[in-house]
């Protein structure tokens, strides 16, 4: 049995002769002495495995003795993927193809394997993006549903006091007689517990009336309401848009 120190020395000599750059730690490779002549092939295979996108961390490489012959080695490698899951793969020591018994040919090249992996990753990213978009849409729909319910609760807080306040005006004509789509006050409040609260809603209500002299008046009410006990009602003349010729 060859020692790790001897293995490293022999492999270093082989690599220096071939002028190859090292990215796999030599201590991660091991071969019995009977397969020592395949050290350069083991290292080349290890480089291919380590360079693959799936392998986030190269762990070990050796010969699969039960699958090998002295004239035809089969290497086995162990890696850790990006999810920290450990996996193993077999590599033909002569062709440096990944052995895969599920394929008609029984193998796949690392170039083709990389293309497959990239396609799988792209599909996985698309599926994840779709799930995130779907979840976002669900959250948005739920938010809109909750805001609609909040608006329906707050609308009477504005509508009833406004009716009481202007109900005696002459020739009162409500242009807004049902709940309008609310806007939001330009505030960003945090309550005493540090929870970020939703901003107050703003309802805009238009109506017409006449003064004592019979002159037609146009009004717009802005009601800013946070809850049943906290609202502000402002009534001002409504500006009319100039007519277009």
Q: Is residue 145 part of a domain?
A: no
One domain for residues 13 and 104: yes
One domain for residues 8 and 86: yes
Compute the distance between CA of residue 65 and CA of residue 207 in angstroms, rounded to an integer.
91
Residue 37 banded pLDDT, cuts 50, 70, 90: very high
Higher pLDDT, 10 or 215: 215
What percent of the chain has pLDDT above 90? Answer: 76
pLDDT of 166 > 50? The answer is yes
Summarised one tens digit per residue, pLDDT across range 189-206 is 545 554 447 899 999 999
88 burial type by CB count under 10 A (0-12 exposed, 13-18 middle, 19+ buried): exposed
Summarised one tens digit per residue, pLDDT across range 110-151 is 999 999 999 999 999 999 999 999 999 999 999 999 999 999
Of 108, 141, 176, the domain-final residue:
108
Average pLDDT (140-163) is 95
One domain for residues 101 and 177: no
Q: Is residue 119 part of a domain?
A: no
Q: What is the largest CA-CA distance in the chain?
A: 115
What is the model's pLDDT at position 10?
Answer: 45
pLDDT of 15 > 60? The answer is no
Q: Is residue 245 part of a domain?
A: no
Q: Is residue 141 part of a domain?
A: no
One domain for residues 90 and 180: no
One domain for residues 8 and 104: yes
Compute the distance between CA of residue 189 and CA of residue 170 in angstroms, rounded to an integer.
40
One domain for residues 12 and 104: yes
Residue 155 and residue 161 in contact, taking contact as beta carbons nearer than 8 Å: no
Q: Is residue 164 part of a domain?
A: yes
Higher pLDDT, 172 or 14: 172
One domain for residues 17 and 91: yes
One domain for residues 85 and 172: no
pTM exceeds 0.85, yes or no: no
One domain for residues 86 and 165: no
One domain for residues 21 and 90: yes
Q: Enumerate residues 6+ apart whose C-beta is below 8 A from 168.
A: none
30 burial type by CB count under 10 A (0-12 exposed, 13-18 middle, 19+ buried): middle
Summarised one tens digit per residue, pLDDT across range 74-112 is 999 999 999 999 999 999 999 999 999 999 999 999 999
One domain for residues 161 and 103: no
What is the model's pLDDT at position 242?
Answer: 53
Parent domain of 17: 4-108
pLDDT of 71 > 80? The answer is yes
225 burial type by CB count under 10 A (0-12 exposed, 13-18 middle, 19+ buried): buried
Q: List residues bridging with 78 in a β-sheet.
A: 60, 88
Phi/psi of residue 237, each to 5°?
A: -60, 145
Average pLDDT (61-81) is 97
pLDDT of 50 > 90? The answer is yes
What is the model's pLDDT at position 191?
Answer: 53
- Hey, which of 18-32, 36-50, 230-244 has the most confident mean pLDDT? 36-50
Q: Is residue 86 part of a domain?
A: yes
Q: Is residue 138 part of a domain?
A: no
Please report which helix (H) or strand (E) contains residue 241, including its range: none
What is the model's pLDDT at position 43?
Answer: 96
Q: Is residue 208 part of a domain?
A: yes
What is the model's pLDDT at position 176?
Answer: 95
How many separate domains does the chain show?
Answer: 2
Phi/psi of residue 63, each to 5°?
A: -100, 140
């Amino acid at each position: 049995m060859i020692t790790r120190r001897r293995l490293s020395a022999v492999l270093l000599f082989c690599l220096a002769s071939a002028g190859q750059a090292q990215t796999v730690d030599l201590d991660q490779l091991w071969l019995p002495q009977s397969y020592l002549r395949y050290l350069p092939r083991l290292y080349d295979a290890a480089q291919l495995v380590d360079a693959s996108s799936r392998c986030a961390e190269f762990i070990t490489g050796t010969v699969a003795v039960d699958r090998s012959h002295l004239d035809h080695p089969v290497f086995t490698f162990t890696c850790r993927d990006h999810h920290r899951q450990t996996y193993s793969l077999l590599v033909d020591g002569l062709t440096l193809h990944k052995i895969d018994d599920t394929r008609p040919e029984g193998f796949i090249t690392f170039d083709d394997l990389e293309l497959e992996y990239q396609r799988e990753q792209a599909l996985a990213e698309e599926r994840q993006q779709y799930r995130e978009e779907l979840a976002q849409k669900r959250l948005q729909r739920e938010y809109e549903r909750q805001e609609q319910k909040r608006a329906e609760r707050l609308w009477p807080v504005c509508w009833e006091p406004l009716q009481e306040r202007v109900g005696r005006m002459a020739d009162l004509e409500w242009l807004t007689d049902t709940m309008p789509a609310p806007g939001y006050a330009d505030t960003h409040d945090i309550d005493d517990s540090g929870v970020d609260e939703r901003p107050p809603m703003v309802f805009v209500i238009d109506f017409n009336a006449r003064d004592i002299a019979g002159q037609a008046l146009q009004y717009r009410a802005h009601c800013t309401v946070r809850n049943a006990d906290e609202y502000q009602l402002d009534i001002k003349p409504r500006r009319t848009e100039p007519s277009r010729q």
